[in-house]
């Protein structure tokens, strides 16, 4: 009798200990999640602002942040792309953000969409544009990014900006930075991330002219929402790997191909969608393959490179062509591309080849 009472007491204590430990774990997880992000409900537009906590966000007053975000107008517009319009949000003299207003036609609030954004917010790397938070309301969504003061590589290479000429050293640094960011997404993130839309307008430049890959995860995100008007699901014509046209499947090797196109753009200063190619019935990649075969690279490098290091430039052409192999299996992966690029100028980058922020 005594031993069965003891057994009953023993089982009760075990069950209680189990339940208490589960509750404690749940409370700790909830607190950790709360510490990671700040959620502000917006009663006016039935929306919700979520800011991911980081040193930069620490000093911000969330309500005034929300007010300023809601007051963005066309005067604050930086530009627009396939996914929506980008605005500059100025909080004070030293703090600004880039806010991307996504086109959204459905009114459904999707928790999967938010989860995707939360994992995008966890990605922190010095060659990737940080997502600081998001705003979601029944009719629109905003993504809050770090503002890149030097805009996009596309604008610097092909736009009318005369104030900044990118010489060979600057372009080399951009190529290595972009390769490092992409290699981080492919090889260091779990699960790995396929960008799906690598192009010069998605490579932004920070105050040091260091490359930052932007818009990662957006193709997947918008596919879920199913509102991005795109002929080919994701990716931009001129940058897409040939196999994508057959399979429609995005792969890391597809990103490697697109990166190869960006490298060619850096070397030749020509856009993959250059009308001259269309008129000649060719495209940047086919054209460069012939140039390299005929060993005529020096006639086609961008004059603005201002460099007599043709050995380095030829080396970069070879890496670009490896990325542009028609057979994806023959292309190197991004870690290999990064290593080959770093070998072009081992002394130049020797002191800062570390991958993480």
* Catalytic positions, written as ranges: 197
Question: Least CB distance from residue 166 to ligand ATP, whole Å?
Answer: 15
Kindly tell me which of 129 and 263 has the beta carbon lying closer to ligand ATP: 129
CB of 154 to ligand ATP, least distance (A): 7
For residue 21, the Cα-to-chain-centroid distance in whole angstroms is 40
29 vs 232, which CB is nearer to ligand ATP? 232
- What is the nearest approach in angstroms of ligand ATP to the Cβ of residue 339? 28
Nearer to ligand ATP, 141 or 201 (CB): 201
**Sites for ligand ATP among residues 79-98 (CB under 6 A):** 79-83, 86, 98
168-227 residues near ligand ATP, rule: CB under 6 A? 197, 201-202, 204, 214-215
Q: Is the peptide bond before 149 cis (omega within 30 degrees of 0)?
A: no
Is 101 assigned to a binding site?
yes
Return the range that interacts with ligand ATP (CB under 6 A); candidates 74-82, 174-182, 268-276, 333-341.
Answer: 74-82
Give whichever of 47 and 84 is closer to ligand ATP, judged by the CB atom. Answer: 84
Binders of ligand ATP in range 227-286 (CB under 6 A) = none
Nearer to ligand ATP, 98 or 250 (CB): 98
Specify the residue, 184 or 216, whose C-beta has the smaller distance to ligand ATP: 216
CA quadruple 341, 342, 348, 349: dihedral sign: positive
Q: How far is the CB of 150 from ligand ATP (least distance, A)?
A: 8
Residue in 49, 129, 178, 263 binding ligand ATP, rule: CB under 6 A: 129
As measured in angstroms, the least distance from the Cβ of 226 to ligand ATP is 16
- Can you tell me which of 38, 60, 78, 292 binds ligand ATP, judged by CB under 6 A? 78
Can you give the chain as a three-state secondary structure string?
A: CHHHHHHHHHHHHHHHHHHHHHHHHHHHHHHHHHHHEEEEEECCCCEEEEEECCHHHHCCCHHHHHHHHHCCCHHHEEEEECCEEEEEEEEECCEEEEEEEECCCCCCCCHHHHHHHHHHHCCCCCCECCEEEEEECCCCEEEEEECCCCCEHHHHHHCCCCCCCCCHHHHHHHHHHHHHHHHHHHHHCCCCCCCCCCCHHHEEECCCCCEEECCCCHHHHHHHHCCCCCCCCCCCCCCCCHHHHHHCCCCHHHHHHHHHHHHHHHHHCCCCCCHHHHHCCCCHHHHHHHHHHCCCHHHHCCHHHCCCCHHHHHHHHHHHHHHCCCCHHHCCCHHHHHHHHHHHCHHHHHHHCCCCC
Least distance to ligand ATP, CB of residue 130, Å: 9
Output the residue with the shortest Cβ distance to ligand ATP. 81
Residue 63 near residue 40 (C-beta atoms within 8 A): yes
Query: Can you tell me which of 52, 65, 113, 145 binds ligand ATP, judged by CB under 6 A?
Result: 145
Residue ranges at the known binding site:
101
Residue ranges at the known binding site for ATP:
101
Interface residue list for ligand ATP (CB under 6 A) = 78-83, 86, 98, 100, 129, 145-148, 151-152, 155, 197, 201-202, 204, 214-215
């Amino acid at each position: 009798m005594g031993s069965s009472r003891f057994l009953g007491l023993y089982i009760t204590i075990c069950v209680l200990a189990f339940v208490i430990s589960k509750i404690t774990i749940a409370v700790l997880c909830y607190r950790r999640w709360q510490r990671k992000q700040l959620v502000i409900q917006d009663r006016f537009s039935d929306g919700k602002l979520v800011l991911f906590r980081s040193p930069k966000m620490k000093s911000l007053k969330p309500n005034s942040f929300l007010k300023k975000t809601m007051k963005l107008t066309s005067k604050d517009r930086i530009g627009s792309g396939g996914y929506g319009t980008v605005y500059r949000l100025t909080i004070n003299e030293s703090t600004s953000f880039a806010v991307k207003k996504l086109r959204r036609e459905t009114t459904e609030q999707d928790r999967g969409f938010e989860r995707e954004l939360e994992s995008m917010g966890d990605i922190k790397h010095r060659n990737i544009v940080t997502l600081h938070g998001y705003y979601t309301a029944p009719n629109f969504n905003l993504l809050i990014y770090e503002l890149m003061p030097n805009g996009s590589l596309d604008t610097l290479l092909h736009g009318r900006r005369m104030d900044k000429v990118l010489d060979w050293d600057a372009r080399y640094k951009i190529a290595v930075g972009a390769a490092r960011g992409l290699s981080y997404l492919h090889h260091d993130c779990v699960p790995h991330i396929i960008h799906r839309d690598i192009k010069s307008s998605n490579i932004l430049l920070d105050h040091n002219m260091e490359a930052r890959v932007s818009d990662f995860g957006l193709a997947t995100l918008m596919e879920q929402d199913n509102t991005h008007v795109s002929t080919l699901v994701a990716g931009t014509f001129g940058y897409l790997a040939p196999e994508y046209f057959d399979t429609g499947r995005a792969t890391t090797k597809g990103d490697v191909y697109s990166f190869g196109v960006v490298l060619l753009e850096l070397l030749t200063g020509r856009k993959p969608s250059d009308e001259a190619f269309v008129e000649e019935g060719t495209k940047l990649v086919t054209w460069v393959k012939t140039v390299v075969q005929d060993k005529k690279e020096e006639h086609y490098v961008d004059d603005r490179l201002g460099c007599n290091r043709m050995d380095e430039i030829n080396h970069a052409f070879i890496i670009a062509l490896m990325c542009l192999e028609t057979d994806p299996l023959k292309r190197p992966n991004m870690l290999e591309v990064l290593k080959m690029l770093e070998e072009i100028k081992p002394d130049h980058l020797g002191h800062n080849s570390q991958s993480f922020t």
